[in-house]
Amino acid sequence: MASIPTKRWLTVKEAAAYLSIPIYTVRNAVWSGNLPYLRAGKRYVFDSQDLDKWAEMRKQIEPSFES
């Protein structure tokens, strides 16, 4: 099992592990303009605080099916 990084700036692979989502989901979010990033040469890096905000905005609450 991969360990969750505790550093602030994360690579695409680390960001995916941090969020527990596939790498392609991170890349798609970048390409669609939905995920903030910093370009470091040819690499994308992500602020873990931005990742937390991004995930928080995407939380969904399932409707209750109780009568």
- Residue 59: band (very low, low, confident or very high) from pLDDT cuts 50, 70, 90: confident
Burial of 6 (0-12, 13-18, 19+ CB in 10 A): exposed
Residue 65 lies in a domain: no
CB 12 within 8 A of CB 23: yes
Domain count across the chain:
1
Rounded to whole angstroms, how far apart are CA atoms 3 and 29?
A: 23
Residue 66 lies in a domain: no
Predicted confidence (pLDDT) at residue 21 exceeds the cutoff of 90: yes
pTM of the prediction? Answer: 0.77
User: What residue numbers bound the domain in which 42 lies?
Assistant: 9-57
Predicted confidence (pLDDT) at residue 66 exceeds the cutoff of 80: no
- Residue 4: band (very low, low, confident or very high) from pLDDT cuts 50, 70, 90: low
Tokens 């409707």 belong to residue? 63
In the prediction, which pLDDT does 18 show?
95
In the prediction, which pLDDT does 60 show?
78
